[in-house]
């Protein structure tokens, strides 16, 4: 503040006190209001009474605050319920429309059904293929091995040789070995699919008009049929045979050894000339003791037939032991 002007510049002057700051006074008053009340005058009883009064006033203020908070919460809850209620259909017609909107369209339902049908069909086909390519082989191998073992056991127990040509359809009478292919399978009379071939056995063409010779016949063509795929597939790899590879047939009393001579990779099923006593195209020119193996081709189809021919090169009694082709 600038110095106050004074005519008597050389005399002393008492300094006037500045006016009191009203702001400070107001602050002090407010502080006094907010602070604790001054102790009540009087004795201990008076002070206790004053404290009880202050507690009642504080309780009233707290209850008011709690009521205010509860009212605010109730208001917010009511607003939320109102907004949620607005999302619901207000009329029955609106509810029906909302339900129809939530349903899938016919196109979606149809596509879903078609997809499930395709999945089911795929699973069924996979199971069928697994059954054909895997399970039928297991069953056929078990049946064929059991039949071969039963034959050998029966032969060992009985020394009498059965008369040729008296075997009933489906009855086993011999065992075929192809050492190069590690094949051992029983031979049964007839070429019935269910009674013979599907049981893992090799069938003999023994019924007219496809009747062929037996191994013990002095001349003739011993013709056999077997599966190439599934059901034991004993002839699956006969296409790998080369001239000179051995084929052995064991009967109750003898072993007959043939050597593979030629192959016809493909021919129609109607070509029955391949099992004649002297088959055309086999390379044989005169009657002899031959063997013919027939099976389907190409693999996994029955469109054509594959033919393998062989010629007998050895015959010996079982009592003399196995032929060299079966000795490891």
Q: Is the pLDDT of residue 4 over 80?
A: no
Assess whether pLDDT exceeds 70 at residue 218: yes
Q: Looking at per-residue confidence, does 3 or 199 come out higher? A: 199
Q: pLDDT per residue over 245-255, tens digit each?
A: 999 999 999 99
pLDDT for residue 54: 58
Q: What secondary structure, in 3-state letters, does the chain show?
A: CCCCCCCCCCCCCCCCCCCCCHHHHHHHHHHHHHCCCCCCCCCHHHHHHHHHHHHHHHHHHHHHHHHHHHHHHHHHHHHHHHHHHHHCCCCHHHHHHHHHHHCCCHHHHHHHHHHHHHHHHHHHHHHHHHHHHHHHHHHHHHHHHHHHHHHHHHHHHCCCCCCCCCCCCCCEEEEEEEHHHCEEEEEEEECCCCCCHHHCCEEECCCCCCCCCCCCCCCEEEEEECCCCCCCCCCCCHHHCCCCCEEEEECCCEEEEEEEEEEEEEECCCCHHHHCCCCCCCCCCCCCEEEEEEEEECCCCCCEEEEEEEEEEEEEEHHHCCCHHHCC
The pLDDT of residue 164 is 58
Most confident stretch, 100-114, 139-153, 156-170, 296-310: 296-310
Give per-residue pLDDT as tens, 98-144: 776 677 777 777 887 888 888 888 887 777 666 666 778 888 889 99
Residue carrying structure tokens 């049929």: 225
pLDDT bracket for residue 273 (50, 70, 90): very high
Lowest mean pLDDT among 2-16, 48-62, 114-128, 152-166: 2-16
Residue 169 pLDDT greater than 60, yes or no: yes
CA 322 to chain centroid, in Å, comes to 47
Q: Which two tokens stand for residue 102?
A: 């939530």
CATH numbers and ranges of domains, the chain: 137-158+167-326 (2.40.260.10)
pLDDT digits (tens, 9 = 90+) for 85-106: 455 656 877 777 777 667 777 7
pLDDT at residue 127 in the model: 72
Residue 83 has pLDDT above 70, yes or no: no
State the Cα–Cα distance between residues 28 and 32, nearest whole angstrom: 6
Residue numbers annotated as active site: 227, 296
Percentage, residues of the chain above pLDDT 70 = 67
State the average pLDDT for the chain. Answer: 79
The pLDDT value recorded for residue 130 is 67
Q: Is the pLDDT of residue 22 over 90?
A: no
- Do 203 and 227 form a contact (C-beta atoms < 8 A)? no
What is the pLDDT averaged over residues 162-190?
Answer: 90
- Asked whether the bond before 290 is cis by omega within 30 degrees of 0, the reply is no
**Cα–Cα distance measured from residue 218 to residue 277, given in angstroms and rounded to the nearest whole number:** 12
């Amino acid at each position: 503040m600038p110095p106050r002007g004074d005519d008597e510049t050389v005399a002393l002057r008492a300094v006037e006190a500045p006016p009191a700051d009203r702001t400070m006074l107001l602050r002090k008053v407010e502080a006094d209001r907010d602070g604790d009340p001054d102790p009540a005058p009087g004795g201990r009883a008076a002070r206790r009474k004053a404290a009880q009064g202050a507690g009642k006033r504080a309780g009233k203020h707290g209850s008011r605050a709690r009521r205010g908070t509860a009212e605010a919460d109730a208001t917010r809850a009511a607003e939320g319920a109102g907004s949620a209620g607005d999302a619901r259909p207000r009329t029955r017609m609106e509810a029906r429309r909302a339900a129809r909107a939530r349903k899938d369209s016919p196109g979606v339902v149809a596509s879903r059904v078609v997809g499930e049908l395709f999945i089911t069909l795929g699973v069924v086909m996979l199971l069928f293929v697994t059954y054909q390519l895997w399970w039928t082989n297991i069953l056929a191998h078990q049946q064929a091995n059991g039949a071969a073992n039963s034959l050998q056991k029966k032969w060992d127990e009985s020394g009498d040789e059965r008369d040729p040509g008296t075997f009933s359809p489906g009855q086993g009478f011999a065992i075929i070995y192809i050492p190069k292919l590690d094949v051992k399978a029983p031979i049964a009379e007839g070429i019935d699919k269910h009674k013979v071939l599907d049981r893992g056995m090799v069938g003999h063409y023994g019924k007219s008009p496809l009747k062929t010779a037996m191994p013990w016949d002095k001349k003739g063509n011993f013709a056999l049929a077997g599966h190439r795929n599934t059901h034991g597939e004993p002839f699956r790899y006969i296409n790998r045979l080369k001239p000179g590879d051995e084929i052995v047939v064991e009967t109750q009393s003898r072993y007959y050894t043939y050597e593979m001579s030629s192959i016809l990779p493909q021919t129609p099923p109607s070509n029955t000339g391949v099992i004649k006593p002297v088959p055309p195209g086999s390379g044989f020119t005169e009657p002899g003791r031959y063997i013919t193996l027939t099976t389907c081709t190409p693999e996994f189809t029955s469109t054509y037939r594959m033919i393998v021919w062989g010629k007998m090169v050895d015959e010996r009694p079982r009592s003399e032991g196995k032929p060299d082709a079966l000795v490891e």
